[in-house]
Structure 1
């Protein structure tokens, strides 16, 4: 029998419905894989074998009655940012020690309603603040990929590094993730997986630990474009508990796979050719252009002139919103509490001990840009720049562009500790933050390997709520580039 962990979601769904395999067998296969690999990769911070088997058993019973949901029996990993009732939910931060919410996030509730099975909670950068998964209280995640001929560890990207690493290493069939400035697409590119950040408002944010409320959006990471389409269909919904979720019908995204892209106009922005970008990234980009052209798409050069201001504006808006959102972690109601002589000292002690360096840095930046005398100079100006960034995209759509093709990241995965300067680390998001600033959908699709044998991704950016076009185009790139898998080095480790 095929190794069950090698199946895609689409393949497993068909086999489960045909009763060729059971949900219990599937869950056991993944739990076994996690047991072998997780000590080496640190992708999961909490594994839930009893819950997984209980959910899989219920799935088998429903499938036997012919009642299976869209994801019946499919084993998933959940980023530690999503509230899961009675199960570890700590945003990988010390400040939320021991927190097990009495409620379920809307996104995970949607997945369970469709029959998905939870394998556990996935590692991430603390409060989703990071581009390398080095800021987690539970230690860094190790990328399943290694350079050819090297056994040195690499980062999986962040903040959804645990989600991307778990999918790449076949420790789950798909994973939930979140993207505030590139946290789905960048780790997907670093691990050879597919990740889509949907349009802002497509998925409910209720029950997802907030980082920057006007930028955060949930989305899936999976092996294939089709699998991402299947997951997003279940994750997306309007939600009365989240007024930023949009009341639009959720399309059957999977039906877009395989549709002709003939006549679609693809924009290539001049501003994404940044100084110092490796030649291999440019080559992949040109290759992606050629693939789409061969499939019948029309390629046009476009300009997004305010792109150069996106990163500095993002690193004002995001920390400002984070400083406000993280004010609730004070040691009073839940999580860590470090006593002091009075309540003020208790707040100070708890936050000093509970937050890691990167979170403290962003909270301080955010507090500074919102403070009296600086609000207009920084935060207000950044919001105006954001409007201009969105207008650049609006003009491209008005000129008939259907989607935009760019690299996902300025380079391949790097080694832990290699980047120590925060600003250099922030530059990892240079191609992805514009999408969040404009509230648009963006997908990263594997586009080949570099000369060291590491995966590189291409990013497609779409019009608001036109994720179908991204799946349509992403599938063309995927078919042309092929699928890539890391070596299973941890099995022998």
Structure 2
């Protein structure tokens, strides 16, 4: 059986009814990895042996009649900037090529002992990029077309799920890094409200923007993963003390009377006409399903990209200062300590990471702080106020996830600005700290298109209900990347 094509909630039912074993499911996924990983390159580190041991332990529990959690025994992939105790965590950077964390990220603790992890997924180095071409090790390929990018920075996490190399995965989203690759790879990606999921054990890129979230085959699985990972954590000072709902209760096929806002600023110049057509058709379908549509204006959207590319690099400049070759990580000997710092960071950081560190350091430097960084923070406030005003009138916002489908590998490598523009629809969501989900809504020349649904702070339930209703009235989530037996 091709269990690697199943969704987590389907496999959970089969496990509970003893129609399949966790070992059979895990072997199916490992065999799939062996068949296609040479072409997709979704992983940095594979953990097949440990995964099978965990699967055997889950089967033993089931045989004893013990209850299992919804994700127990179901193979997942973890983005390689999330710490797993005793497992290499590289952030796709040569500076951490041999780093093994001595502790688990909170999300790993919440997932529990029965979690089967088949590998650590590739990403853009330190999550800086939108194509996974900036990995310090290799580029991941999109399972829908191996000549295209899977998106980024969680490209490995999205490609693994789309290719059947994992049933579910965790990614992190700083400016679209869960939603954009989910759109490119034809899967579901949810960025929770900032503070809804603990960041403890997530290697920091931009601390005021980063958020961990699920990448899955359908909306039901996204709710399953959110149930496992959401909740307050005293180890994370930005964690929100709020009741955590049962997200599966939001999976209702009904949006009658739901007020949906369509921000006119999100249909940007240069958008692929096929993407816009698919998004417009999806909006029409939501109306047919009972939603009420209102056009809204979010006038500061055009400044969000500029503000983000000052705030995020500034925080990165501070967060990445710890990688100096002293305490841990890669070290290049030097004539003195300053020479060692310089040689270590020059050799072990990639081009995009260096670019962002320099941008951030410049923005924070004396004489430029007020002109750049402080002004960017003020713009961030204005962007958040746009969302606040919009949500006074509507329940959710619907936009494209990305202005185009996945582009060819190498097409934008030498043009950072063109690469940054791929995040134009996702970045404002991070600046405002609100939740957003990307779901598949169509195809252009055989490549998936993503529909983004944005919600009010801590209202993941409404975006899940909207996404679930759309999904149940379409079959996009049933399609599997035509990777074949490569």
Does the pair score TM above 0.5? yes
For 1:238, the equivalent position in structure 2 comes to 232
Pair 1:201 & 2:221 matched: no
**Aligned-partner SS, 1:280:** helix
2:283, 2:327 → 1: CA distance?
53
- Displacement, 1:259? 4.2
For 2:54, the equivalent position in structure 1 comes to 55
**8 Å Cα contact 1:446/1:481 also seen in 2:** no
For 2:398, the equivalent position in structure 1 comes to 405
- Displacement, 1:295? 1.2
**Aligned-partner SS, 2:134:** coil
For 2:379, the equivalent position in structure 1 comes to 385
For 2:105, the equivalent position in structure 1 comes to 105
2:301, 2:35 → 1: CA distance?
44
Aligned length: 482
**8 Å Cα contact 1:229/1:253 also seen in 2:** yes
Pair 1:119 & 2:118 matched: yes
**8 Å Cα contact 2:253/2:472 also seen in 1:** no
**Aligned-partner SS, 2:300:** helix
**8 Å Cα contact 2:152/2:177 also seen in 1:** yes
Runs of 4+ in 1 over 6 A off after TM superposition: none
Deviations 1:75-104 (A, max 9, x none): 100100100111110101001121001100
For 2:11, the equivalent position in structure 1 comes to 12
- Displacement, 1:190? 0.3
TM-score using structure 1 length: 0.96
**8 Å Cα contact 2:40/2:142 also seen in 1:** yes
**8 Å Cα contact 1:448/1:481 also seen in 2:** no
**8 Å Cα contact 1:337/1:346 also seen in 2:** yes
Pair 1:433 & 2:432 matched: no
Deviates more, 1:181-190 or 1:283-292: 283-292
2:469, 2:48 → 1: CA distance?
37
Pair 1:262 & 2:256 matched: yes
- Displacement, 1:40? 1.0
2:205, 2:86 → 1: CA distance?
22
Deviations 1:239-279 (A, max 9, x none): 11101011112111111112421111000011112112121
2:409, 2:158 → 1: CA distance?
16
The equivalences for 1:143-222 within 5 A come to 143-146=142-145, 153-222=147-216
**Could you say what the CA RMSD is over the residues aligned between the two structures, in angstroms?**
1.0
Deviations 1:306-348 (A, max 9, x none): 0000000000000000000000000111110100011111111
**8 Å Cα contact 1:63/1:72 also seen in 2:** no
Deviates more, 1:327-336 or 1:253-262: 253-262
**8 Å Cα contact 2:5/2:480 also seen in 1:** no
Pair 1:363 & 2:357 matched: yes
**8 Å Cα contact 2:267/2:400 also seen in 1:** no
**Aligned-partner SS, 1:157:** coil
**8 Å Cα contact 1:448/1:482 also seen in 2:** no
1:37, 1:200 → 2: CA distance?
35
**Aligned-partner SS, 2:169:** strand
